[in-house]
Structure 1
Amino acid sequence: MAVSEESRNRTAWLRHGPETNVENLAAGTLPGTLRPDDGPALLFPSESDQWLSHRVLDERSRGTASWLLSRGLAPGDRVLLCGGNSAALVVAYLAILRAGGIVVLANPAYTGDELAHLVDDSQASWAFAARPASALVDVANAVSLDEPLPGLEPGPLPRIGSADVALLAYTSGTTGAPKGVPLTHANLLSSIRAAMHAWRWSAGDVLVHSLPLSHQHGLGGVHATLLAGSSAVVLPHFDAAELGDAIQRHGATVLFAVPAVHERLVAEVPDALGAPSLRLAVSGSAPLSPDLAERIAAVMGEPPLERYGSTESGLDVSNPLDGPRLPGTVGLPLPGVELRVGTDSGEPIEDGTEGEILLRGPQVFSGYWNLPEATAEAFHPGGWFRTGDLGRIDADTGYLRITGRKKELIITGGLNVYPREVELALEKHPAVASAAVAGLPSRRWGEQVTAWVVAESQVSAEEVVAHARKLLAPYKCPKQVFFVDSLPRNSMGKLRRSELREPLDTSELDKAVAKLWRAEL
């Protein structure tokens, strides 16, 4: 290679801004960043037109943490947290951390079966949940997020350290069973601090987003707001008109969104993206097409700042705030992040050559929850995390370009769907002999979940989808079902997922995609 890997990474860090002490990125704990001042912190317009101050968040979370300790919560206990975007969810999140608990983050769209797996796998004995999940969760101690949170006069809290686990996030695996990803305070803080440094996040910034706080993209915005002492407006769900109004009404300086949201905003409320106050629009969780980047640039004057990360490693790579943002790339490694594109054995390869994206640094988790074999498979020697994504580093710019995936992953509307989890659910239907799942292109969502089904008795596509909805969150359910005589397999019986589309002739596939696109317009 023309330059050493270490030199290239350090040069990339400096292109994001002045040099920062990498060791300091991971110092402290999330609760330790709270500040008892009266500046506006969070606004949930669907609940109230009154801002929650940083002081109120500090006091309420301390009170609820004291209550948890009085009820027997011990440091390291797992606590399921499941609800929509709300002030109560944020206060509960901070309270659990302050009491030394581990937050088990759950999507409120999950079914009873999905929630039961998280509870069983994490051995959670507590839950903070909102309806309808609150009626589906079976734990020893349950607290409703739909009622005022319990609290006591704040008392002494346990001492927690940066190496303690703060969050247990779940990401599905190719076997279908979601895997727990333990993230320490150091993992979370180093990730968000690196991004804040690169994006020049300050106390004067106002973030607006409608991303779910049950997802790290949305939760990361809360982390940055608390660390910077800045402000954030969090909407309960995405609505283009409401999000556009919030940007303009509150003088937003930063917008977090996925490509599907950017697509709607530029089509329906372009004036909001062109608001004079808006200095930065960030895009992540799914690929941003160059065409969409150009349309947004025509309104904003520059394309969104596209970034890259994962559940296991947080925020890792970003186009620079100052300097060229190259559509179709995700930019340069953030401060503290070591990036390598490597061979199957983990050896670095020449720039411009496709390989697996490997990451190392204080933001990367240390292993899956109680899964030593999966952990061993996830790392190369030297601590390099195998993302399962394919990419190449441009020889001239040093920017990373995502070129594909080794993992059998569908990204729909910024949310990850693992085909095997959906296949296992479909195969529980008595009329389904076998099923295979992959993604079809979608103008709005990037990819749509699509199923190929071998039926052993009469069943309709509508019945297959209805069955899936009983077992899976709606975004995981197929939007299209094809019935086939057999599934493509190799000589060992392994599914050849890449060949699923081949039985469809071009016209039939085009019709299927066109049907999906018409439904989205």
Structure 2
Amino acid sequence: MLKIVKQAHKNLKKVAIVSENRSFTYQELIVQSENFAGLLLNKQTDLNETSVAFMVLPGFDYVRVQWGIWQAGGITVPLCLSYPIPSLRYTIENSEAKVLVVSPEFVELLQPLATEKSLRLIVLGKDDLLENKEEILLPVFDESRRAMILYTSGTTNLPKGVVTSHRGLNAQISSLIKAWKWSKNDHTICILPLHHVHGIINIVGCGLWAGACCEFLPNFSAEAVFNTFKEGKINVFMAVPTIYFKLISHWESLPPDEQTELTETMSRFRLMVSGSAALPVSVMEKWKIISKLTLLERYGMTEIGMVLSNPYAGIRYSGHVGYPLPGVQVRLADEQDHEISYTEIGEIQVKGTTVFNEYWQKPEATAESFTKDGWFKTGDVATVDEAGGYRILGRNSVDIIKSGGYKISALEIEEVLRTHNSVLDCCVVGIDDNEWGELVVAAIVPKNEQIDLTELNNWIRTQMPAYKTPRKYKLINELPRNAMGKVTKNDVKKQLFGNIS
């Protein structure tokens, strides 16, 4: 039995999930996830690491599908709800999914692809309504089995599938349970996308493992979040800096009596966390005034889960991401992968059970991401103070942009832009922004002077997820290059956008 399901058996009568104005107990979650596992098995004894892609709305259905896939022995491949068809096609094809599970809202979008690829399509509320009359015999397997593939953009043009085992997921959750003092008395809310570690592990995984209640909002709005806060049940909240920026803006627009009410409510929370992007000091300070709480900033990646965290009890310094979490080894290393001492600047490298297994079907990329002595190379540059606290200085590549909690490949965006018939060449960079962390911007060398930037922007939003598309464009006759012909991106930032971060 999965460890998270074993944990659920300790709290059968307790409410596990609140979504769509309904409450679901842990017992209901266990039963419904086992039923879904039986549906997936379809008289098989084990899915044997078959990839199952699913595009399911946040809430009870999402979790029962996720747990059902795991209990049937499959690999979960969660799809982003806002992705256009080209991105969904890539994820489904690359993961070699054989089954596709969708909420009814996504049938029209994905049924043609399912038919084309001969995928088994399961529509929730239709194909899973038949009750299983036979006893469901779930497979038994070791924690080393692969459990999940999440896609993340790296320094290459196409996203890589990050494969994590059940052992890895369990280790990631257990580490955070201990560090952040999760308990069954907690009540949290998930407003983050559920195709990333932040939402899947840090909020939903930890909450349900601890026996807490996890509430879902179908769509983010500052008003809806604050209205949920006012109910007085939430005591743990996690978000990305962009969301805190929006919440601050909305709070400042409210009348004084509502501001006071919200401040008093939030001051009773036991924990508020920020992550997935650097937290601007201004946002941290404003939020402390509004909520009376100091945000806990942490650091992690899809490949490694969370590895650094400011202390749950203790001083949290602005601009610092804290100390190694339980069960995780972290070091700074130079370009030769040799460990370096405190106060020096180096790449963060990680070792431990929380680290991923492999990049799906990419053995060379997997090997290149580890040192000879087995440390994962994050590509993030940091310094460490004498007390062992880490401060992130940035990526060791200007081709990675951190915006709104996402890590975005500039190279991927450039390749798409170059396919437009009005674009001769382009350069995509990130510029500092208090709300988004970094804004994605693009310098365009047009084929002619008649280029319509509005049309270009509308077009690229049909080719890529909205969060990857540029927010600003500048037209340029020629891109700056070095003697080797490589575009000098810092010059693009400085000359065109006034930023050389």
**Would the TM-score normalized by the shorter structure come out above 0.5?**
yes
Aligned letter for 2:27? R
Determine if contact 1:105/1:170 at 8 Å carries over to the other structure: no
Determine if contact 1:274/1:299 at 8 Å carries over to the other structure: no
Alignment: residue pair count: 478
2:40 aligned with 1:40: no
The structure 2 residue matched to 1:291, chosen from 277, 282, 285, is 282
The structure 1 residue matched to 2:220, chosen from 219, 226, 238, is 238
- For residue 152 of structure 1, give the secondary structure of its aligned residue in structure 2: coil
Determine if contact 2:154/2:408 at 8 Å carries over to the other structure: no
Distance (Å, rounded) in 2 between the aligned partners of 1:505 and 1:38: 56
Deviates more, 1:490-499 or 1:375-384: 490-499
Aligned letter for 1:390? V
2:322 aligned with 1:331: yes
- The change in CA–CA distance for 1:291 and 1:161 in structure 2 (over 3 A counts) is same
Distance (Å, rounded) in 2 between the aligned partners of 1:277 and 1:499: 47
- 1:69 matched residue in structure 2: 41
- The change in CA–CA distance for 1:148 and 1:240 in structure 2 (over 3 A counts) is farther
- 2:132 matched residue in structure 1: 152
The structure 2 residue matched to 1:461, chosen from 453, 458, 461, is 453
Aligned letter for 1:175? T
Distance (Å, rounded) in 1 between the aligned partners of 2:458 and 2:445: 17
Aligned letter for 2:35? G
Query: Cα distance, 1:299 vs. partner?
Result: 3.4
2:178 aligned with 1:205: no
Query: Cα distance, 1:29 vs. partner?
Result: 4.1
- Cα deviation, 1:257-316, whole Å, max 9, x if unaligned, reads 111112222343454354253111011111111222122222333311111100000111
Distance (Å, rounded) in 1 between the aligned partners of 2:172 and 2:382: 21
- Cα deviation, 1:151-182, whole Å, max 9, x if unaligned, reads 52451101122111110011113221110100
Distance (Å, rounded) in 2 between the aligned partners of 1:40 and 1:250: 16
- The change in CA–CA distance for 1:29 and 1:493 in structure 2 (over 3 A counts) is farther
Q: Which runs of 4+ in 1 moved over 6 A?
A: none
Query: Cα distance, 1:439 vs. partner?
Result: 1.2
Query: Cα distance, 1:89 vs. partner?
Result: 1.6
Deviates more, 1:151-160 or 1:184-193: 151-160
2:303 aligned with 1:306: no
Determine if contact 1:102/1:166 at 8 Å carries over to the other structure: yes
Aligned letter for 1:39? K
2:233 aligned with 1:251: yes
Aligned positions of 1:106-117 closer than 5 A: 106-117=79-90
- 1:103 matched residue in structure 2: 76
The structure 2 residue matched to 1:135, chosen from 109, 124, 135, is 109
- The change in CA–CA distance for 1:288 and 1:147 in structure 2 (over 3 A counts) is farther
- For residue 503 of structure 1, give the secondary structure of its aligned residue in structure 2: helix
Distance (Å, rounded) in 1 between the aligned partners of 2:142 and 2:5: 10
- Cα deviation, 1:432-464, whole Å, max 9, x if unaligned, reads 122211112223212221111111133221122
- 2:26 matched residue in structure 1: 54
Query: Cα distance, 1:129 vs. partner?
Result: 2.2
Structure 2: 5+ residue stretches without partners? 252-258
Distance (Å, rounded) in 2 between the aligned partners of 1:495 and 1:133: 43
2:448 aligned with 1:474: no
- 1:399 matched residue in structure 2: 389
Distance (Å, rounded) in 2 between the aligned partners of 1:156 and 1:467: 49
Query: Cα distance, 1:411 vs. partner?
Result: 1.7
Distance (Å, rounded) in 2 between the aligned partners of 1:475 and 1:302: 29
- The change in CA–CA distance for 1:70 and 1:261 in structure 2 (over 3 A counts) is same
Query: Cα distance, 1:103 vs. partner?
Result: 0.7
- Cα deviation, 1:2-49, whole Å, max 9, x if unaligned, reads xxxxxxxxxxxxxxxxxxxxxxxxx964444432601010111xx22x
- The change in CA–CA distance for 1:118 and 1:505 in structure 2 (over 3 A counts) is closer
- The change in CA–CA distance for 1:71 and 1:79 in structure 2 (over 3 A counts) is farther
Aligned letter for 1:51? S
- For residue 180 of structure 1, give the secondary structure of its aligned residue in structure 2: strand
Query: Cα distance, 1:484 vs. partner?
Result: 1.1
Query: Cα distance, 1:188 vs. partner?
Result: 1.1
Determine if contact 1:451/1:478 at 8 Å carries over to the other structure: yes
- Cα deviation, 1:400-446, whole Å, max 9, x if unaligned, reads 00011014211221122111111111111112122211112223212
Query: Cα distance, 1:370 vs. partner?
Result: 1.1
Give the TM-score normalised by the residue count of structure 2.
0.91
- 1:94 matched residue in structure 2: 67
Deviates more, 1:234-243 or 1:494-503: 494-503
Aligned positions of 1:174-213 closer than 5 A: 174-213=155-194
2:495 aligned with 1:491: no
Distance (Å, rounded) in 2 between the aligned partners of 1:239 and 1:374: 39
Distance (Å, rounded) in 1 between the aligned partners of 2:127 and 2:55: 16
- The change in CA–CA distance for 1:370 and 1:134 in structure 2 (over 3 A counts) is farther
Percent of aligned positions that are identical: 31
Determine if contact 1:244/1:272 at 8 Å carries over to the other structure: yes
The structure 2 residue matched to 1:502, chosen from 476, 484, 494, is 494
Deviates more, 1:72-81 or 1:196-205: 72-81
- For residue 471 of structure 1, give the secondary structure of its aligned residue in structure 2: coil
Give the TM-score normalised by the residue count of structure 1.
0.87
- The change in CA–CA distance for 1:71 and 1:119 in structure 2 (over 3 A counts) is farther
